[in-house]
Chain A
Amino acid sequence: MKPILPFAALAIIASPALAKTITVAPGPDAQSRLQGALIEAAPGDVIEIGAGRFDLTDGLSLDVNKVIVRGAGPDKTVLSFKGQLGAGEGLLVTSDDVVLRGFAVEDSKGDGIKTKGADRIVYKNVRVEWTGGPKETNGAYGIYPVESSDVLIDSVIVKGASDAGIYVGQSKRIIVRNSRAEGNVAGIEIENSRNADVYGNTATHNTGGILVFDLPNLPVMGGGDIRVFKNMVVDNDTPNFAPKGNIVATVPTGTGVLVMANDNVHVFDNDLSGNGTANVMIISYPKAFTDKRYNPLPRGIAVGGNRHGKAGFAPQLPGGAQLAAAFGGSLPPILWDGSGDKAGLAVTDKVTVLGLGLALAAPPETAKPAPVDLSTGTAMPQPARVVLPEAMEAAAR
């Protein structure tokens, strides 16, 4: 009985007659048994990681296509990297059509799970956590797919990342849904990526809830066509604990949804509340850059149909306190730095928008804050729903 391979392009030499399940239980020598299973797996295999705690000394890695790595649940199968001596992440995946589900990665010294150039990757019911709470010494990213097409992140939990809990970088066709990001600097971050749907997530007690960034000088440029909808972005109140030098270190505490540069980003039907600086911020890239391919301005950004609770009550901006006082104690829930073409911004939420009147890359001290009407602009048509291959959806059921 030969398995039917849905991917014609999958070159498998000597494919196994039948997919097998490799079981790895906790206990002595877990490092080499688990890493051995990940190396010796063949396409189609399932690696079943048993319930219990695995104390690991080195990052794990998978480089075989079409493998399912499955634990007994995000609270039952725990891969602990507290004693990690080497490698930049807890688990690294560099192959395609991989499914990661039902396990936790704890206390990795660097990133939690990185999947690089791993197309059609599925994360389901995975937890990545730094168990000591928010600390600058925690790893940067919890879940970190990069340079990948077709990314599905579903029902994951990430806590304590010193950069972003869920970070999708330089990728295309992405869904992040039904997940929880708590106590990270950035809860969910989509960076230099195209076609992303971010919905049904809860981002709470981070420094910033959901960030959509586009940065210069990267191999993959031109972020945009992104929808952020039906999320709970509430009480993002953790003081920024990112090491300086990183772009997220500049995110003010109390940021709900932040759009920096990018084109065609739609933020709608979200519950936004308890974000002390702003529920929504639309800004340009604030630093100098040399990359001629790069557009630092936000273009065609639509914000509408969101439900705004309290916001702007503790703005972490230069002169924020005085500014808030001038507005009767709280800033308006939506901030726009004033850069880019107003005609391409469409903010139709029935709340005040505060314009900061900043020229591109101007210092914040030069702001000329004033309410601004962005309801008459025209954003781009909403991007189409991201549809991932059915095999990925099936794997996440």
Chain B
Amino acid sequence: MNLARRLAIIVSAAAALVILGAAMEDARGVNDAAITGEGYPATLSEFHLFTDMATRAPAARVTPYTLNTPLFSDYAEKQRYLYVPGGKAAAYDPDKVIDLPVGSALVKTFGYQQAGRFKALETRLLLHRASGWVAIPYVWNADGTDAVLKRAGTRIPVTFTDPSGTIRTISYSVPNQNQCKDCHALSGAVTPIGPKIRNLNDGKQLQALLKAGMLDRLPTDAPRLARWDDAAAPLADRARAYLETNCAHCHNPNGAASNSGLYLDWHQADLNARGILKHPVAAGRGSGSNEFDIDPGHPERSILIFRMESADPGIAMPELGRATVHAEAIDLLTRWIAEMPPAGTPADIGVKATRN
């Protein structure tokens, strides 16, 4: 046998092995023990969430989902998947994140378009174990064949083109495990943030989850969060949807920013707590020398806008995961605040405050 033929046989045998390997992966499905067990697997591939790591094709029951209004993360693209173990379903709750049973996982891969294709940087997992949820970051290797555990986080230099066509170079931050918890903690326990019924409710995907047996019920009056970028939706709904998704995980009475007294969750009825004519408490130079978080009619005097416009870690909000200014969202919130009747005018919204 000449060398070329020998090589060909070796190569095809290897290819067969690879195909067989993939088939075995398929048959095995998701590695439930890795999700519910103790400890943190060293590589993402150990979870068998994807049948093929290089293409990140999801395994059975690993279901893609989108959010009406997602968290902004430096213009990163995100691929989100929801996994509910066989025979179980998430419980519908109109107000909260869907109640996912033990053994469930949320999988979120962050990346950017590079030379025309999506390049994965990191995948964050939220795993529902018997002891509660755990959050773990995995960072993809250079050739995109697997991702490794990075509990202490890391930084990755990235160059990408933003929606306006501007080329940006940033130090992309992969959060450490504590930073995952900073955002994902409610009363000190890790919890998912994104997949709330109202944020999943796009008229299609909840129905699909119900049909697949992954959701226990779906009333016809399920609430629906506006898309922040839906020009047809009311401005206030879009603005508050953006604040809900980008701020309220910390800015709620049980979140990391509880001591600020600024609560940007959808349900907050107290206008002062929502920032209207609210003095800052511990903003420091984050105040930008402004008196109020939101000064109705005056976005240029509103701390909320000032902090969104900054990328300085001593000023910027959110505190984590943002090295880039989200210009499109600032436009939206600026218009929203500008349209509010100024304090002291006949149509003002009734919060009193003094200016220095």
Residue positions of A touching B, CB distance < 8 A: 13-14, 31-33, 35-36, 38-40, 57-59, 61-63, 84-88, 92, 94, 108-111, 116-117, 136-141, 144, 146-147, 162-163, 167, 169-170, 215, 217-220, 242-247, 249-250, 286-291, 361
Q: Is B288 an interface residue (CB 8 A)?
A: yes
Other A-B pairs, 12, CB within 8 Å; known A61-B178, A61-B179, A287-B279: A13-B131, A62-B178, A92-B178, A110-B286, A110-B314, A169-B281, A217-B273, A219-B258, A246-B283, A286-B354, A287-B356, A290-B272
* Given A219-B253, A288-B353: A38 touches B178 (CB 8 Å cut-off): yes
Task: Give Cα A92 to B185, complex, Å.
Answer: 14
Write the nearest CB–CB distance from B314 to chain A, whole angstroms: 4
Q: Which of A14, A32, A116 contacts B256 (CB 8 A)?
A: A116
Decide if B272 touches A85 in the complex (CB within 8 Å): no
A35 cross-chain contacts in B, Cβ below 8 A: 152-153, 176, 178
Task: Give Cα A138 to B303, complex, Å.
Answer: 18
Write the nearest CB–CB distance from A239 to chain B, whole angstroms: 15
Q: Is B268 an interface residue (CB 8 A)?
A: no
Can you list 23 pairs linking A and B with CB atoms under 8 Å apart?
A32-B153, A35-B153, A39-B151, A62-B178, A63-B178, A87-B313, A87-B319, A88-B313, A137-B314, A138-B285, A140-B283, A146-B282, A163-B282, A169-B281, A169-B282, A219-B259, A244-B289, A245-B289, A245-B292, A246-B283, A287-B353, A290-B353, A291-B272
Q: Which of A94, A117, A163 contacts B284 (CB 8 A)?
A: A163
Write the nearest CB–CB distance from A97 to chain B, whole angstroms: 14
Q: Is B352 an interface residue (CB 8 A)?
A: yes
Write the nearest CB–CB distance from A53 to chain B, whole angstroms: 19
A88 cross-chain contacts in B, Cβ below 8 A: 313-314, 319
Q: Is B159 an interface residue (CB 8 A)?
A: no
Q: Which of A87, A220, A245 contacts B291 (CB 8 A)?
A: A245
Decide if B291 touches A140 in the complex (CB within 8 Å): no
Decide if B182 touches A61 in the complex (CB within 8 Å): yes
* Chain B 176-198 interface 0/1 with A at a Cβ cutoff of 8 Å (1 = within): 11110110010010000000000
Decide if B153 touches A288 in the complex (CB within 8 Å): no
Write the nearest CB–CB distance from A215 to chain B, whole angstroms: 7
Decide if A139 touches B351 in the complex (CB within 8 Å): no
Task: Give Cα A246 to B282, complex, Å.
Answer: 7
* Given A86-B313, A147-B258, A245-B303: A139 touches B284 (CB 8 Å cut-off): yes
Q: Which of A116, A136, A138 contacts B259 (CB 8 A)?
A: A116
Q: Is B323 an interface residue (CB 8 A)?
A: yes
Decide if A85 touches B173 in the complex (CB within 8 Å): yes
Decide if A87 touches B285 in the complex (CB within 8 Å): no
Q: Is B155 an interface residue (CB 8 A)?
A: yes
Task: Give Cα A101 to B64, complex, Å.
Answer: 47
Task: Give Cα A62 to B273, complex, Å.
Answer: 29
Q: Which of A33, A58, A108, A137 contacts B153 (CB 8 A)?
A: A58
Q: Is B12 an interface residue (CB 8 A)?
A: no
Write the nearest CB–CB distance from A188 to chain B, whole angstroms: 15
Write the nearest CB–CB distance from B124 to chain A, whole angstroms: 15
B282 cross-chain contacts in A, Cβ below 8 A: 111, 140-141, 144, 146, 163, 167, 169
Write the nearest CB–CB distance from B321 to chain A, whole angstroms: 8
Decide if A40 touches B259 in the complex (CB within 8 Å): no
Task: Give Cα A13 to B290, complex, Å.
Answer: 47
Decide if A63 touches B181 in the complex (CB within 8 Å): yes
Q: Which of B272, B290, B292, B354 contacts A361 (CB 8 A)?
A: B354
Decide if A109 touches B313 in the complex (CB within 8 Å): yes
Chain A residue nearest in CB terms to B303:
A245
* Given A63-B181, A218-B259: A110 touches B313 (CB 8 Å cut-off): yes
B291 cross-chain contacts in A, Cβ below 8 A: 244-245
Q: Which of B152, B287, B320, B352 contacts A245 (CB 8 A)?
A: B287
B256 cross-chain contacts in A, Cβ below 8 A: 116
Decide if A85 touches B171 in the complex (CB within 8 Å): yes
Chain B residue nearest in CB terms to A35:
B152
Task: Give Cα A219 to B258, complex, Å.
Answer: 7
Q: Is B280 an interface residue (CB 8 A)?
A: yes
A109 cross-chain contacts in B, Cβ below 8 A: 312-314
Decide if B283 touches A245 in the complex (CB within 8 Å): yes
Chain A residue nearest in CB terms to B131:
A13
Task: Give Cα A9 to B146, complex, Å.
Answer: 41
Closest 5 CB pairs of A and B: A140-B284, A245-B287, A109-B314, A88-B319, A244-B289
B279 cross-chain contacts in A, Cβ below 8 A: 217, 245, 247, 287
* Given A86-B323, A217-B273: A245 touches B288 (CB 8 Å cut-off): yes
Q: Which of B38, B289, B313, B354 contacts A287 (CB 8 A)?
A: B354
Q: Is B154 an interface residue (CB 8 A)?
A: yes
Decide if B261 touches A218 in the complex (CB within 8 Å): yes
Decide if A243 touches B319 in the complex (CB within 8 Å): no
Which among B179, B259, B280, B289 has the highest number of chain A CB atoms within 10 Å?
A: B259
A167 cross-chain contacts in B, Cβ below 8 A: 282
A147 cross-chain contacts in B, Cβ below 8 A: 258-259
Decide if B314 touches A139 in the complex (CB within 8 Å): yes
A87 cross-chain contacts in B, Cβ below 8 A: 179, 313, 319-320
B284 cross-chain contacts in A, Cβ below 8 A: 110-111, 139-141, 162-163, 242-243, 246
Decide if A39 touches B352 in the complex (CB within 8 Å): no
A59 cross-chain contacts in B, Cβ below 8 A: 313
Task: Give Cα A170 to B155, complex, Å.
Answer: 34
Chain B residue nearest in CB terms to A117:
B188
Q: Is B278 an interface residue (CB 8 A)?
A: yes
* Given A85-B155, A217-B273, A246-B284: A58 touches B173 (CB 8 Å cut-off): yes
B151 cross-chain contacts in A, Cβ below 8 A: 36, 39-40
Write the nearest CB–CB distance from A165 to chain B, whole angstroms: 12
Chain A residue nearest in CB terms to B356:
A250
Task: Give Cα A361 to B352, complex, Å.
Answer: 13
Task: Give Cα A139 to B38, complex, Å.
Answer: 39
Task: Give Cα A116 to B284, complex, Å.
Answer: 17
* Given A58-B173, A245-B289, A290-B352: A32 touches B283 (CB 8 Å cut-off): no
Task: Give Cα A244 to B353, complex, Å.
Answer: 16
* Given A39-B152, A110-B314, A137-B285: A246 touches B280 (CB 8 Å cut-off): yes
Tell me the residues in window 230-283 of chain B with beta carbons closer than 8 Å to chain A beta carbons: 253, 256, 258-259, 261, 272-273, 278-283
Q: Which of B38, B283, B303, B313 contacts A85 (CB 8 A)?
A: B313
A215 cross-chain contacts in B, Cβ below 8 A: 281
